[in-house]
Structure 1
Amino acid sequence: MENIEKKEIRPLYIRERVAVYVYCYSYKGTRQLSRFGDIVYSSQKSHYSLLYVNNDEVADLLNKLKELRFVKKVRVGHIKELDQNFSEAFIQTNLEVKEELEH
């Protein structure tokens, strides 16, 4: 058992990912979108797909997607820009409700 070598554990690098919403004229072209990123959701009725792509590739990818014939418009998700601290929002709404009940 002493001869077992300990292997070095490499750190796991998590890449920043961005949500990209791609609106199409028809549902036929959505299968081709898998070349550009990971398709997480695709709506056949609303003709849009949700892709996750690497953050450093977004600028080039948006131009490539807009050039495709079946793509109507492309939007980038803004979840990173939103404040996700909801505890302060709950405190504020509780205070507002208490004030309304007192009056």
Structure 2
Amino acid sequence: MFSERTGYIIWVNDLKAARSLDKYGNVYYMSRKMHYVVMYMNADRAEDTVRNIQRLPFVKRIERSYRNEIKTEYNSDVPDKTRFYSL
């Protein structure tokens, strides 16, 4: 149904030229102050797409986002101590 997506942070020199990154994937955020672009693309074609993006003259560096790999379900084995301090 939905294809697997991966996120990338792309550091750029020129934000006006970075608008053209839209054809490589979905541009989620562009930081004007720090000059980076957060974008998502299909995981199966990500390696080829990153190679093509690195060739662009305004791209400084590309970092992969590890947001998908971070554990977001939390469980606590330690009992909650707040009930001992209630009035």
Specify if TM > 0.5: yes
Cα 1:30/1:83, change in 2 over 3 Å: same
- Normalization by structure 2: what TM-score? 0.82
C-alpha distance after superposition, 1:55-79 (max 9, x if no partner): 1011101111111100000111112
- Indicate yes or no: 2:17 matched with 1:52: no
Which sections of structure 1, spanning at least 5 residues, go unmatched? 1-12, 99-103
Q: Which of the two has higher C-alpha Rg?
A: 1
Q: Given the two structures, how large is their TM-score scaled by the length of structure 1?
A: 0.70
Residue of structure 2 aligned with 1:68, choices 56, 61, 65: 56
2:63 counterpart letter in structure 1: R
**Matching of residue 39 in structure 1 with residue 5 in structure 2:** no
Query: Matched residues, percent identical?
Result: 26
Specify which structure has the higher proportion of strand. Answer: 2
Q: Which has more helix, going by share of residues?
A: 1
How many residues are matched?
Answer: 81
Moved over 3 A (4+): 95-98
The alignment's C-alpha RMSD in Å is 1.7
In the alignment, structure 2 segments of 5+ residues that lack a partner are 82-87
